[in-house]
Structure 1
């Protein structure tokens, strides 16, 4: 399943390189090689050099890059990915079953006439164009004339031979007095697992809730989870730590236990929520309306963790909602308690265009925190 990160078509490859070279710009924003498609220019020569190198190394580059993901790796690289998740490629096996072999005389008579009453391992049992073999030695009882033997197909694959199928015994000194039939369906064989089949099992393992990746996938599928990152062995061997950003500013108090219960592995998972940081704004607005308040609240609430609260963008949101004239006069910030109140709000004395980044904090706000003054 090698992916063509580097196109094998030389025309496509050259076109992509030319496009990339032409889009390269200097510190002042001006193009470095605007004439990369004009023969004899530095840009054109650079495109030719890059095209030559990538055409020579493209196959190897594609193989290396494909091997870096379990979704595109092949052969030994895919086996290595599978081994990382305690999986192995299933080797080819032959179908197995049982056959009943019947002699025209008793086992005692066979012993007297032929010096043996044993159906040895390796005895061939033929049917049509197919062939089975006896897996282990079995003796026909002295006072009986039949015995059941374990058999398997002589070739690997998903072969099925139904019960009752007549078999011809070959490879035994007294085969002329023997007949046989399938007494237990011969089935269960398979070919060697292909890359596609192994990759399918591997992908299923990745989303198993008993693995770290599966736990992360389960978290991300939860309706109250916006983002989740899982780390292993944070609190010792067998433990997982999940840093979860809730989809709601104030999630239910039961959410942590609910998310931790999603992990089905042998150890224990710990779910951590980021502290919510509220902002208390003092603003001047020519128009006091709910639409303006909602626009300001929506801007702050929709900030991603680690993003920057941009004052000019906040003011633009208010103006677009019909504020007329809108200016942020001061900001106070602090952690939000379980009741939605800002605790120990710290004033930011100088209102600049860029508020310091919030790290793992998530900004939240409510309309009553937006204060207006004349």
Structure 2
């Protein structure tokens, strides 16, 4: 029996009745009660609810001034500014409560780690640097962040965040129980280490490592939990082949050429994405498997058109039931990316203008809750959470 983690089909659970009532009546009240039970004092719970209402209602940029103007009274701008930047409350319990709440509605098919760049004009804001943005396709001045998103077949929502800070060593934590300030290299590892604390049954973690080096791939695919990583077609992989009269031998080949045989054997059907897999290894310094990595991993190729080379390449340390099962899970990464660019913009995930690292994390946490509210409201209005028959 293989000890390789397997990819299971998402389990459809019967949703608790209280969540159905919340979706159909007032999801905001129910969700806020679940998220902010551990905040110290009535005033903090009021400010948290007020801030999220403002994120959902305010037009244009979700600045504190606009948030306060949309939901408050004179004086609330200063109160909300204090709540986000100076009041003593930790984001970790709120993020854990959000993960638990979403998991109680629909079991996650995967957790998607999304790297993003947030353009900023002021260099005094937390984490601002000049860096290459894969989203923009060029160098920008802004923040580099990583978000961990809950993703099921029916909804996606961000839960936790890390902000990369220029430099090579972590900065000290600003408050107890807050996420540590991480150098860019440590952000992904911090997020991956946080996920197991949210539930006891780890799901597949999906992420994009195009442009990353061999060391980053090795760290990701050597984790005990199942991981699927998108890579470039130029990524070199070790493939075991057979030489005439010489038995088997290992050769290095780019990912795009490894699946040539699968492409020739069965072309994808027109109008639908199709997939095929091959068993490969991560090459070591001299073309051998690096110690500590799985002896073999799977390469998934995805075709959007019926002919030609695959359009996407994924590496995974999990053992899928079929290429199509893994394909369905990796599609969640596209939904998360779309959500970041659309609903994420609408609830202000890009809009924090303060200079405080602590304030950035609090804003992103509250904006993530607002995103979940909007997603659940939308799904409830469309009948996406009708009780199971």
Same fold judged by TM-score > 0.5? no
By relative contact order (CA 8 Å, sep 6+), the higher-ranking structure is 2
Structure with bigger gyration radius? 1
Q: TM-score, normalised by structure 1?
A: 0.20
**Greater fraction strand:** 1
TM-score, L = length of structure 2: 0.19
